[in-house]
A and B are shown apart, each in its own frame.
Chain A
Amino acid sequence: MGKMSVELDVFVGNTTIMDEEVYQFWLDGYTVADAVRVRMEGGVLQECEASAEVLHSDTMDQFRTFQMCERLLHCPSKLANQLLFQIPPHRQAMLIERYYAFDDAFVREVLGKKLSKGTKKDLDDVSAKTGITLKSCRRQFDNFKRVFKVVEELKGSLVENIQQHFLLSDKLARDYAAIVFFANNRFETGKRKLQYLSFQDFAFCAVQLINNWTVGAVDNMVEDMDVDLDKEFLQDLKDLKVLITDKDMLDQHKSLVCTALRGKTKVFNEMEANFKNLSRGLVNIAAKLMNAKDVRDFFIDLVEKFIEPCRSDRWTAGDIKLFLTHYTNSVHILDTFKHQVVWDRYMGVVKSCILKMYHD
């Protein structure tokens, strides 16, 4: 008809009304029109004899509400103290959790990258590649950056700090800890060879690194910093080089492992043939870790130096586990090797990481 247009249309409840489905559309960066279309397809109209206009009005209202809440969501503890919206606590928790949730596809694109303006500028490429709306990409990116900024300088457990400041669930807080940790250490995760790894693979590795290789890992009393790797430890890793530079030790190591594995694996011959290469690979990775640049390549190195050779020889995951167990433990028998503690601290993490990363 065109004789009438809605100039203004608002609905405000004393208890703020929020529909989780609509919230998700908003988070996903839908326009109001798109959200209305999807809701109509979802059959919500039949629910209450509503029309498209009704749906549009409802969607607009809620999008506006979410927009007004967004400022508070940036500092979730404010949500509980603010007076503007009366939101039941469990709904508050839902709002926060969903706001900070992220897409695996997105996080894989930025994991380990510097959370800088430059990266943010490239988000349109990420959006195009992943099919996630630019708006959503920006929200997720900003969340990463915000959490990073807050916990970067804080002492104490990374996960706990995140949980305390952002009121996230345990699971999500752990994921954020991984993201922060990766961003801080700028681990390379984007190379083609690493594409097969999921965010959860990396998150698992991050937990290993945080729990074993940071300052907080050894001394959780004071000056506890979970974000940075333990510099002293990285220095000490150089000492492991003896395992490959000392020919006697290398041979002895090899024979110990071979003895232990003989008859227990189908890839014994390949293992025996490749032992020195594999060992050199692992030890060299350790020795280089004191350079920040090589830290970044930690995962790509693991793949290139260890996982790929094994994979081409068709090792099974069981083979890998068996090998790494004996490879690690045999060193304890080497009398001349003096760096057992460092070795265990190193191999413990490397072993879990490789086991997690060894899949198709």
Chain B
Amino acid sequence: MPGKLKAKIVAGRHLPVMDRASDLTDAFVEVKFGNTTFKTDVYPKSLNPQWNSEWFKFEVDDEDLQDEPLQITVLDHDTYSANDAIGKVYIDIDPLLSSEAATVISGWFPIYDTIHGIRGEINVLVKVDLFNDLNRFRQSSCGVKFFCTTSIPRCYRAAMVHGFVEELVVNEDPEYQWIDRIRTPRASNEARQRLISLMSGELQRKIGLKVLEMGGNAVVGYLQCFDLEGESGLVVRAIGTACTLEKLSNSSAAAPPACNSPSKDIKESPLAHPPGHGCRSTHSSPVHTASGSRLSQNFSVSVPTLIFTGMGSGGSAGKEGGPLKTLLRQQTQSALEQREFPFFTLTSFPPGFLIHVGGVVSARSVKLLDRIHNPDEPETRDAWWEEIRQEIKSHARALGCHAVVGYSESTSICEEVCILSASGTAAVLHPKFMQEGCLDGYSDPSRLEEPSPPSCGFCHIPYDELNIPFPAHLTYCYHCRRQKVPDVLFTTIDMPAEAAVTGKGCLIQARLCRLKKKAQGEVNATAISNLLPFMEYELHTQLMNKLKLRGMNALFGLRIQISVGENMLVGLASATAVYLTALPTPGGIQIAGKTPSDITYEQHISNMQKKINDTIAKNKELYEVNPPEVIEEVIGSPIPEPRQRSRLFRSHSESSDEVSELDLSHGKKDAFVLEIDDTDAVEDIHSLLTDTPAPAGFYSCNTEIMPGIYNWTSGLQMFTSVRVFRLSNANLTNQGLNKIFNDLCENLLKSLYFKLRSMIPCCLCHLNFTVAVPEDELIQVAVTAVAMTFDKDQAQENWKLGADKTHMKAIVENEEQLQFPLELCTESPSTNPFSPCRGTGLQESANAHATPRAASVDYSSFADRWSSWIELIRLKAQTIRRGSIKTTSSLEKASPLPEGRSRSLRSTRSYAGSTVAVVKMTPLSFIPGTRIIKYLGIINMFFIRETTSLREEGGVSGFLHAFIAEVFAMVRAHVAALGGNAVVSYSMKECVFMENPNKNQAQCLINVSGDAVIFMRESELEATPAPPQTSCSGGEVTT
């Protein structure tokens, strides 16, 4: 019995009226964990009940602690009939199981009902006493920390990066069980929510066990997904990167490693730099194509392998560094050989970890779903993923790489067909993070390989020039002139911080729809797998064209999604394009008419060519892409004349590596050639030119931050936008469909720019598009991103200086500075909420901290300051309790405030408790201008909402709008209850929307995740002594 879970139900508020006669409610609460249930007394006739219950105690195994959520049900007591459920709260207690995360969960939680949405709030306190019992055979993995963040979390250091962990669990979907026919939608939804919560807990526990086996203590880049396979079941699967993390002892004194403002990050956290080259993309899975109809059950089609590269043929062999490279490779290899899959879900890396990048590797496979017979042995699903991963691994090998970074997996399901996809970036890693004991032994890669400048090293090709896996066009690096680089580099990772770029980057999307016939079973699966290679090829061509059109030469954060519907496939590739200074200047795009028959045709062509040239020129100006003129090789290395061609290689995976080649260049050497001999090509060119750039003052990217922007300010707005389009005309052509889909995405972007125009100058970061084909004629696009403001005028040098200054100030810890925040919080909160002085007061103080921003933003930054100040007090209180004399005395000295004022400080706190704490949300791993001082645990929530009164709730838009707002509210409430003030690395991983307007019904499932954190403004950190390292030993948290 390794743990005791304690819960206390304090009060409720804003409850719904359950008794029409009295307009009141007789509420009581059931608290359930595992099979044990406690009840509070009935609090009669109130919409704001004060239960103030005793502590309900559950004595449980830690295994259960990990798997089970605490389930709180609020009910209305009814003497004569069955009690009515008002709603539920599920609380994941996992954050309480790690000694470094939260110590108590305490706060107001929205009471949620799957039919009615949020119905009031309940105040709950939860604690866990763990009795560690290390000797027993462990089924639990309590204490392993999970992070959604795909980099080493700020305020930690990676002592070891162990590598890939994966697990999946399956179950029957309650929605498809026989009992579902007789139970209410509410019961069914709740069964589903609870099951998924349980499965997630179990999955996390199992992954944790694997991490412990590997000797790690944390999972970074934890990515959990659901496959709603319908009749055949429910799969919850997760991947991540096992690490051994060490907490940095003093985040503020040891300035560099901590999570600083983004600007600092760029400088200080030398993230990884994988060099990537072209893009090697395959549909993996060896074909077990069943030719006959033999296996209708375990049917699987894998798609022929494609390799795309953007380069022409290679140059001469450079011998330099050869032996060293080999040495390094051997070491890395041995480090990686122990690992079945040398995959890493990280997208940015500790300094020196990432040495070279080879390019994008991807694999897809089409499977026919069938019922999972034995949930405890989900062999089939495991085998499917195993196949795909093997494929990825072999692609990486072909690129001369031993590892895959920025790795992710996804599925798209339509009826019984499932497309499994995996992608990542082939890379060469430094062994120092991967071998025991060699942490200090290896200094840095420069010893092994001749020093390559950090700003270009990752671009250098990892493969042997003499034995290139595909014809590539190589030149000497434009930065160091010593190593070879490809002409174009595609990757799935974030751009390494030290990479040198010219100008700014931009978001690039390739969009594509392909109609297919409706079909069933194997025929359908075969049809889909036949289409996939063409889609990948076209998406790739589009990406390449758009890249050239912007005068850029590299893609980061590439994510290609292909979704399957009954009668179409939709593909969407997003990436952030940049001009890497180390790579050659891209050539232009040349249009070639195939049959120059008459003059008008020629005219047409030359018009188009002119338009394209103009666009390229305009883009270069827009994105400030002004590479220095290349002076013809003085050093004398033979840089081949720049020319680009595109080649398509297609290997039929069955017949091994036989490669057929299509040379699309038609002999034009200087530019990327587009042929417009068919209508498709005309379409392509059109869509190229109709991509409208972001309005002035806006930038956008799908990576964490925009290459070329450094001086972020504090404005932050995370948002989710969802659109569903109905295609009303059945006679659509592929081109018509493409245009519609293209417009859809463009218009969505335009809407976002318009919505957020008050934040200009700003950048939409981490723009994450998800497409789905929920029904026959519907296309759904969902976007989650964050808009962040930046200071346009501040030069890069300035922020660097500023950062240094900040740093110095932080070190010169000055007690007197404490006064500022103290005054700040004694004054502001006492003001009447509606009187303008609150607002202005806040803004003034915010301005005092030099955050020149729009009003809306000022508020939030202040409020954050406010809530994090409370946190600081809390931390301080803990320190004091623990008897740290130094801090105590400094606090006393620092507050020359009379008794009365410190009392007002206290009242202030209770005031803050009565209003709602501000919780920031962002898909990024940091918040500009702040430092994360503590990670409180992972947030992983799954909700279902259903309605049978769709029209009354404002139609589908009203329904979904309310639901998304509710999900945000529940995430914020859980974070606040953990004591946090932000969620970082937030993502909405699933948004499954189904409607039946004829029946006035709709249902939606949403899965979100992120890391709950406490952050503090840097300005505050400057002003206060370093926060004590939070050990969370039984700290009492005031609410």
Contacts and interface: CB of A to CB of B under 8 A. Distances in A.
A88 to B, nearest CB: 4
A6 to B, nearest CB: 6
A8 B778 CA distance: 10
Q: Is the interface of A mostly helix, strand, loop or mixed?
A: mixed
B750 A15 contact: no
Interface in B843-869: 855-856, 859-860, 863
B753 A11 contact: no
Interface string A1-32: 01111111111111101000000000000000
Nearest to B729: A3
A167 B834 contact: yes
A54 B695 CA distance: 14
A64 B958 contact: yes
A89 B728 contact: no
Contacts of B727: 3-4
B121 interface: yes
A60 B957 contact: yes
Contacts of A294: none
B964 A86 contact: no
Contact of A11 (B719, B729, B838): B719
B620 interface: no
Interface in A231-248: none
Given A88-B860, A93-B833, A96-B834, A7 B972 contact: no
Contact of B834 (A5, A8, A168): A168
Contact of B956 (A8, A50, A60, A168): A8
A10 B957 contact: yes
A227 B780 CA distance: 57
A90 interface: yes
Interface centre among A4, A65, A67, A167, by most B CB within 10 Å?
A: A4
A6 B725 CA distance: 5
A90 B110 contact: no
Interface in B771-805: 778, 780
A97 B14 contact: no
Contacts of A97: 834
A8 B855 contact: no
A51 interface: yes
Interface string B708-723: 0000000001111111
B822 to A, nearest CB: 21
Contacts of A13: 717-719, 755
A81 interface: yes
B301 interface: no
Interface string B816-848: 000000000000000001111011001000000
Given A5-B726, A6-B725, A58-B754, A14 B954 contact: no
Contacts of B993: 8
Contacts of B516: none
B118 A7 contact: no
A89 B961 contact: no
Contacts of B695: 48-49
Contacts of A38: none
A122 interface: no
A90 to B, nearest CB: 3
B13 interface: yes
Interface in A62-100: 64-65, 67-68, 78, 80-86, 88-93, 96-97
B718 A14 contact: yes
A4 B530 CA distance: 27
Contact of B916 (A53, A82, A91): A82
B569 to A, nearest CB: 18
Interface centre among B118, B728, B752, by most A CB within 10 Å?
A: B728
B736 interface: yes
A82 to B, nearest CB: 7
B747 interface: yes
A7 B966 contact: no
Nearest to B730: A3
A3 B740 contact: yes
B918 interface: yes
Contacts of A51: 747, 750
Contacts of A89: 833, 838-839, 859, 915
Interface size, B (range): 35 or more
A68 B965 contact: yes
B961 A12 contact: yes
Interface in B910-930: 914-916, 918-921
A83 B118 contact: yes
A8 B718 contact: no
A81 B728 contact: no
A41 interface: no
Contacts of B24: none
Contacts of B954: 64, 67
Interface string B8-33: 00000110000000000000000000
A57 interface: yes
A57 B969 contact: no
A4 B968 contact: no
Interface string B303-316: 00000000000000
Contact of A81 (B736, B750, B916, B920): B916
A7 B966 CA distance: 21
B960 interface: yes
A38 to B, nearest CB: 16
Contacts of B743: 4
Contacts of B750: 49-51, 54
B757 interface: yes
Contacts of A81: 13-14, 914-916
Contacts of A61: 755, 961
B60 interface: no
B751 A58 contact: yes
A83 B920 contact: no
A4 B721 CA distance: 19
A15 B835 CA distance: 21
A11 B751 contact: yes
Nearest to A2: B728
A84 B839 contact: no
B726 A90 contact: no
Contact of A17 (B717, B836, B956, B972): B717
Contacts of B719: 11-14, 17
A64 B959 CA distance: 10
B836 A90 contact: yes
B125 interface: no
Interface in A245-296: none
Given A13-B717, A91-B859, A3 B728 contact: yes
Contacts of A7: 724-726, 778, 956
A335 interface: no
A67 B721 CA distance: 18
Given A6-B723, A14-B717, A80 B961 contact: no
Interface centre among A13, A58, A81, by most B CB within 10 Å?
A: A13
Given A12-B964, A17-B755, A83-B110, A88 B856 contact: yes
Closest 9 CB pairs of A and B: A90-B839, A88-B859, A8-B724, A93-B834, A13-B719, A14-B718, A10-B961, A12-B964, A7-B724
Interface of B: 13-14, 108, 110, 118, 121, 692, 695, 717-729, 732, 736, 740, 743-744, 747, 750-757, 778, 780, 833-836, 838-839, 842, 855-856, 859-860, 863, 914-916, 918-921, 954, 956-958, 960-962, 964-966, 968-969, 972-973, 993
Given A64-B958, A89-B839, 16 more contacts: A4-B743, A5-B725, A6-B724, A6-B726, A7-B726, A8-B960, A9-B724, A13-B755, A50-B753, A51-B750, A53-B747, A55-B754, A58-B755, A86-B972, A167-B833, A167-B834
Interface of A: 2-15, 17, 47-51, 53-55, 57-58, 60-61, 64-65, 67-68, 78, 80-86, 88-93, 96-97, 167-169
16 contacts: A2-B728, A3-B740, A7-B724, A7-B956, A8-B956, A8-B993, A11-B752, A13-B719, A15-B860, A48-B695, A55-B754, A81-B915, A83-B108, A83-B118, A91-B859, A93-B835
